[in-house]
Amino acid sequence: MQVKGYVGRMCSGALVMMLALAGSDIAGAEQNRRLPLDRGEIALSFAPVVKQTAPAVVNVYSRRVVRERRSPFFDDPLFRRFFGDDAFGVERKKVQRSLGSGVIVDPSGIVVTNYHVIKNGTEIKVAFADGREFEADVMLRDKRTDLAVLRLRSRGAKFPYLAFGNSDRLQVGDLVLAIGNPFGVGQTVTSGIISALSRARGGISDYQFFIQTDAAINPGNSGGALISMDGRLAGINTAIYTRSGGSNGIGFAIPVNMVRAVVESAKTGTRVRRPWVGASLQKVTPEIAESLGLKRPVGVLVGSVFPRSPAARAGLRASDVILSVSDHQIRSKQGFNYYLATKKLGERAELKVFRGGRVRTAKIELMAAPEIPKRRSRVLRGNHPFSGAKIANLSPALAEELSMGENAYRGVVVLDVIRGSEAHRLKLKRGDIIEVINDYKMRSVADVVRAVREQTYSWSLTVRRGNKRLSTVINR
């Protein structure tokens, strides 16, 4: 018992001493906070990097007033079955609102957010965590990358901003912070790691090349900042994979190198001008790799080369496999498009190309897609199936603008369709290519105009939509 009592007194004394030391450590911790420098210091606070970066992350509010027609009997399924959705419609105004986040990337008040946050918004406001609000103008909308660039109406004021990092230097396992306004509760910071790089996630944008993170990203975080531990912007948070509607630890961010390219385009114009290759590309499957003599399925396969394009001038041929772009290994078509899109026009990119069992080097000129021929857009009128369709001559530039495939460089494309017109009833859509009218091949707007002027009671039509050809005969 005496021994136990002695041990007990020793433990009590040691405990008092430990608590005293812990108390002094806690008191000093407030003054000695700093960024974790290695794994052994992860227990330290992220507060310094948050304090440095959070003021540059803002809330973005988008508002749009639309007019819609709605029948008072619209909710009656029997009425809708017999009379349709548009019958006896009553026009009324409806306000559409969107809430997201944004990042200031220039002290003059340039803000980056997601395209889907502001989309068709006509009134956009940006709110700071300190309570200030500013109206904003759209400098550029880019649906293909799901990015938009805004400018604050600030009359020369200077703002806190985030410097661009380099997303090509990020590694799986790096610590990151996500800052945004989830569910509209106010500015929120979450932490995590980079879970994966070059992740493809269909349906978000044309450039499926994302940073994956387990830092919690929720609705309202879209357009917010993914920040590396040096206090620089690593990406723009854009989407989550979820079955519940909330964060499941799988979030996606647009790499900052792509963000930088879009912002630079916004400073010089109203749309993004990207390097054009002029070749169709496809994934290298194990079967293709074996047939070409590759040890494993890597790179992208060149399917066809557009005459006089940068790919043609670089000497690329069908069946070539592009292995890398400027020393960046290529594992998918998305990766190739990403690395090319983050480069500047006027430069040259070095490609490693596998052909005939050997690896060769090719240098490709980075130029914008040309508008050859000129689009010559025109709205068709008259008594024919295409009445109400706005058409144009297809070119590489227009094909890129419409996010069409690499093979869609020639022909006549539908730009728009007037609601209620003959073309609308024919179910023509933006991006459809008019190929044949009454057995005549349509190569230009002039060809279509001549064809629809013919006096005929029967129309034989072929339209290409994506990879499908749709043919029909209309008797009038």
Three-state SS sequence of 74-109: CCCHHHHHHHCCCCCCEEEEEEEEEEEEEEEEECCC
Terminal CA-CA length for the chain: 110
> According to the model, what pLDDT value does residue 68 have?
57
Beta-ladder partners of 475: 458
My answer on whether 411 and 360 are in the same domain is: no
Which one from 101, 195, 198, 222 is the annotated catalytic residue?
222
CA 446 to chain centre: 35
Last residue of a domain, one of 266, 293, 310: 266
> Which residue is catalytic, options 98, 101, 116, 205?
116
Which ranges in 95-200 belong to alpha helices (H)? 115-118
Percentage of the chain exceeding pLDDT 90: 53
According to the model, what pLDDT value does residue 70 have? Answer: 54
Does the annotation mark 432 as catalytic? Answer: no
Average pLDDT of the chain, as a whole number: 83
Cα–Cα dist 160/149, whole Å: 16
pLDDT higher than 70, residue 431: yes
Domain with residue 203: its CATH number is 2.40.10.10
Number of domains in the chain: 4
φ/ψ (deg, to 5) at 147: -125, 150
- Can you give the residue range of the structural domain that contains 383? 378-475
Region 247-257: mean pLDDT is 84
Catalytic: 424?
Answer: no
Residue 39 has pLDDT above 90, yes or no: no
314 and 345 share a domain? yes
Amino acid 100: pLDDT: 87
Known active-site residue 108: no
Looking at the predicted structure, is the pLDDT value of residue 91 above 70? no
Residues 186 and 218 in one domain: yes
With contact defined as beta carbons under 8 Å apart, do 445 and 393 qualify?
yes
| Rounded Cα distance, 316 and 296, in Å | 21
- Domain at 286, CATH number: 2.30.42.10
Q: C-alpha dihedral over 339, 345, 349, 353, to 10 degrees? A: 70
| 8: in domain | no
Residues in Cβ contact with 304 at an 8 Å cutoff, skipping those fewer than 6 apart: 279, 280, 318, 407
| pLDDT value at 214 more than 80 | yes
Distance between CA atoms of residues 422 and 443, nearest Å: 22
Q: How confident is the model at residue 251 (pLDDT cuts 50, 70, 90)?
A: confident
- pLDDT surpasses 80 at 187: yes
The pLDDT of residue 316 is 95
The residue type of 212 is Q
Average pLDDT on 293-297 reads: 91
The active-site residue out of 62, 106, 142, 146 is 146
Residue 96 in this model has a pLDDT that exceeds 90: no
For residue 89, is pLDDT > 60?
no
Task: Give the CA dihedral 222, 225, 227, 233, nearest 10 degrees.
Answer: 130
Could you tell me if 360 and 447 lie in one domain?
no
Q: Are residues 452 and 384 in the same domain?
A: yes
pLDDT over 90 (residue 74): no
User: For residue 199, which phi and psi values (nearest 5 degrees)?
Assistant: -90, 130
- Say if residues 422 and 386 touch (Cβ distance below 8 Å): yes
Q: Fill in the amino acid letter for 305.
A: V
Q: Note whether residue 390 is domain-resident.
A: yes
Task: Provide the pLDDT for residue 217.
Answer: 83
User: Is there a single domain that holds both residue 402 and residue 354?
Assistant: no
Separation of CA 403 from chain center = 12
Query: How far is CA 181 from each of CA 58, 187, 243, 268, rounded to the nearest angstrom?
Result: 8, 5, 21, 30
pLDDT higher than threshold 60 for residue 205:
no
Same domain for 286 and 321, yes or no, is yes
The residue out of 97, 121, 152 marking a domain boundary is 152
Give the range among 82-91, 297-306, 394-403, 419-428 with minimum mean pLDDT. 82-91
Highest mean pLDDT among 56-65, 315-324, 335-344, 464-473: 315-324
- Three-state DSSP class for 258? helix
pLDDT at 291 over 60: yes
- Report the 10 Å Cβ neighbour count for 231: 18
Q: In whole angstroms, what is the distance from residue 307 CA to residue 278 CA?
A: 8
- The top-scoring range by mean pLDDT among 10-24, 37-51, 201-215, 326-340 is 326-340
Of 237, 266, 295, the residue at which a domain comes to its end is: 266
- What's residue 261's pLDDT? 93
d(CA 213, CA 221): 13
H or E element that contains 15 = helix 2-29
**Position 45 confidence tier, pLDDT thresholds 50, 70, 90:** confident
Answer whether residue 34 is part of any domain: no
pLDDT (0 to 100) of residue 202: 56
Q: Give percent above pLDDT 70 in the chain.
A: 79
Write down the pLDDT at residue 241: 66
37 occurs within a structural domain: no
